[in-house]
Amino acid sequence: MLTIHDIAVWDTGERIDLIVPEVDGERSFTEPGAVVSGDIDGSSLIVAPGLADPHVHFRDPGQLDKETMVTGSAAAAAGGYTRVLIMPNTLPAADGRDINVQDVVDGGKELREVGAYNTLDYLQRYEQLHNVKLPVRYDLSVCASLGRAGKLPSRPEDYARFMDSTECSSHSDNAESKTGGSSDNPVSEHPLRAVTDDGSAITNEILDAVLADSKATGLPVLEHCEHHDSGAINDGAVSRKLGIAGIPAETELAIVDRDIEAARRTGAHIHFQHVSTAGAFDAVRKAKAEGLPITCETAPHYLALCDEDILKYGAMAKMNPPLRSEADRRATVAAIADGTVDMIATDHAPHTAAEKAGDLVDAPNGIIGLECAYGVCRKVLVEGGAISDERLIELMALAPERLMGHTPTDVAMLLNTSSKCATKRTLDLSKVEHPEYVDLTLIDTHNEWTVDSAKFHSKGRNTPFDGWKLTGRPMATIIGSKLVFSRLPDSPTSKHDSSRVV
């Protein structure tokens, strides 16, 4: 049992004693010297709902040299995440179709060896097939097109079996859907929550069909709102200086404008992924004012970096959409501040060191983000004065959970009130109703640390944030009221300051 004294509730500021009854013996891990039991001073900590990421690539199956479900899940837990949404650009692509017996390339053999008949089946039954327990909850997304080729829409008759009949929609009133509960059924534990061709925009040819299926199934469409046939980095002074073909900002706006019109025409919910340009934010802002079913996310790297940083970081700062201009970066922060952006997602995209060490033009797009996202976002947004600590939790925990059809843990509700109490109270997670649904992150907003990618739990090391000095870090992750990850020290990094805003 772990008792944390004088911890602050993230949104009310009330100071409580928190009792975590046990460590999850099947899925927990810790960093060296971390505390997992006993009594500790939590005066430097806040307790918040678990972080959630609606946009991760775990490369499993098909590219296990880059990441696996095991290493990706460990990275998530170490970053304070209790739930992630896995993108379908796996090998084979997660479109719901069964693989052929002869299909032994591009991950097909890998699936056959463990007894899975397609990628969605493999991912839903991953823990059973590999006899492991993963330290993060995860949901799945399905390809918008067959094979992610953009030619034909994926077919609901192929993927409906992977949707829990009571939990397949974010509009479900089922209590377990709202709380993120688990069961012995892999479908209800890891259901489909979205449709996307992430990595590519949905093509004009199939867009209307995909949106029609989205409305019929209740699955939102997650759109990679960017398309280009040439170019490697943002079109601008940096691309011209390096002599590299550029990608104009208009490539993002073109998809955003097209899809806003489609949402207006069909009423389908479209969620724009990793928005990065001022023009796109303006379009989203106007669409929301019109009341259209549009939501959007951005990523830590678009908040913290611009295309000028490519001169320093090279391929470690190459992604798609590319890092944009400094003006676009400022517009991204402004879109967070005014509420245009609904949530922050990492777009965690691991690659091998050899791939990223190559030529900038030929290096693959993407960076990892799960293990430093909170600190990077807090540095730019909270320390930069754009938003509060509370708003950051809303962006990184509450909104992503709701997009995935879950209700985040409400700490104040567990205490049976949203108001402060004159006498310090104790929240014993073993005594709450349905402790199996309680997911929490313990964060030290004053913890000063330096990003060291060599110590990451992810297989990936491809981050431009290596060596960055940050303040604020998730210190423990709790899933189902059990401790799954800890880096809690024997003593806090800072004592409670009564003037501190929590």
Q: CB under 8 Å to 411, separation ≥6 — which residues?
A: 9, 10, 11, 47, 48, 49, 427, 440
H/E element holding 3? Answer: strand 2-9
The answer to whether 487 and 34 have CB atoms below 8 angstroms apart is: yes
According to DSSP, the β-strands at 294-298 and 270-273 are: parallel
Candidate list 307, 347, 439, 444, residue with the active-site label:
347
Closest CA to 287 of 307, 303, 267, 304: 267
Q: Of 141, 44, 48, 140, give the one whose Cα is nearest residue 395.
A: 48
| Residue 12: how many other CB atoms lie within 10 Å | 18
- Has 198 been annotated as catalytic? no
Q: How far apart are CA 438 and CA 28, in angstroms?
A: 16
Q: How far, in Å, CA of 313 to CA of 327, rounded?
A: 19
CB atoms within 10 A of CB 359: 10
In eight-state DSSP terms, residue 245 is -
| 467 three-class SS | coil
Residues acting as catalytic residues: 347
